[in-house]
Amino acid sequence: MIAYLGVDVGSVSTNIVVVDDDNNVLINLYLRTNGRPIETIKTGLKEAASMLDPEVRIAGAGTTGSGRYLAGVIIGADVIKNEITAHAVAASILVPDVQTVLEIGGQDSKIIIMRNGVVTDFAMNTVCAAGTGSFLDQQASRLNIQISDFGALALESNNQIRIAGRCTVFAESDMIHKQQMGHCIPDIVNGLCEALVRNYLNNVGKSKEILTPVVFQGGVAANLGIKAAFERELGIPITIPKYFNVMGAVGAAQLAKEEIQTTGETSFKGFAVTNMPYHTTSFECDGCSNACEVVEIYQENKVIGRWGNRCPKWDIV
């Protein structure tokens, strides 16, 4: 059987999927990056290889996410694409008539507007944590509850309270104030969910035409309280796809499939790369006023990839 590998390396999670020629997901892994992307990629690939049927052959590989260049060099990716493209492709596969994609991860969030299967607009929030999963993680820790219980608690709320959500500092202060006023935990948790949704729509979704079908993906889509808050705020149903937390990797695998259909051959190095030693270094180029920070990755003692440079000076031919 022919299959395709997709790897999405983010600041919070590293996601790995294998899809077959009919876009069926054979394997999906969601791993915590923990600030060690190289080790996490290798661990994920080892686990994927152990789960894969020996008769399955990887015919192509793609990477996406903030660590897409690093992952691409390690595995020998056929295509390296940004998150917007990967998430849009994945959403259009699982919900073919999708018009709006809401994506919220641990450290950033994005909205993608699609019309007739084509991305027409998008926006990202990579600055403020108030509209991302880390915001909920921080507040869950302060409330001494598990983040996995957050959504269920929010759905138990019978009294809507408003918590300031423009900034994590203000939100935390306001949350403490609501606790001191005697509000119960479910109402406070629901208020935090609504605060995140307001922040997202006011910053990331500002001036965007949100039309159905709306697909909600990213790790935060596991939180049913956020889904319910979106539906109340927008007044429209929200769809959460089956593989909501690994959609970037699904899109990367599909993009690799399309690339191989054009080129006919893959650069994928195979799962043996998990046994290779890798390390990275960086330096600042003084060749011009750009002062680019160039990152190098070594396999043993050989430089196999560089990125961060704005000109071809440090490209590896």
Predicted confidence band at 180 (pLDDT cuts at 50, 70, 90)?
confident
Predicted confidence band at 105 (pLDDT cuts at 50, 70, 90)?
confident
Residues in the chain: 317
Instruction: Give the mean pLDDT of 289-317.
Output: 89
Look at domain 97-240 and name its CATH class.
alpha beta
Look up the pTM and report it: 0.88
| 270-283 tens-digit pLDDT | 999 999 999 899 99
User: Residue ranges of the domains in the chain?
Assistant: 2-89+248-275, 97-240, 278-314
Residue 83 DSSP class: H
Residue 146 DSSP class: -
Cis peptide before 312, with omega less than 30 degrees from 0?
no
Give 67: exposed, middle or buried? Use CB within 10 Å, 0-12, 13-18, 19+: buried
| Cα 5 from Cα 249, distance rounded (Å) | 8
Which DSSP string do the residues of 227-284 spell out, in sequence order? HHHHHHHHSS-EE--TTGGGHHHHHHHHHHHHHHHHHS------GGGGGS-EEEEEEE
| Cα 143 from Cα 171, distance rounded (Å) | 13
- The answer, yes or no, to whether residue 150 has pLDDT greater than 90, is no
Residue 117 DSSP class: T
- The answer, yes or no, to whether residue 165 has pLDDT greater than 70, is no
Evaluate whether 285 touches 97 at the Cβ level (below 8 Å): no
Instruction: Give the mean pLDDT of 133-140.
Output: 80
From 20, 54, 16, 17, select the one nearest 32 (Cα to Cα): 16
pLDDT value of residue 317: 62
> Does 97-240 match 2-89+248-275 at the fold level?
yes
- The answer, yes or no, to whether residue 106 has pLDDT greater than 90, is no
CATH number for 2-89+248-275 (one of 3.40.50.2030, 3.40.50.10420, 3.30.420.40, 3.40.50.1370): it is 3.30.420.40
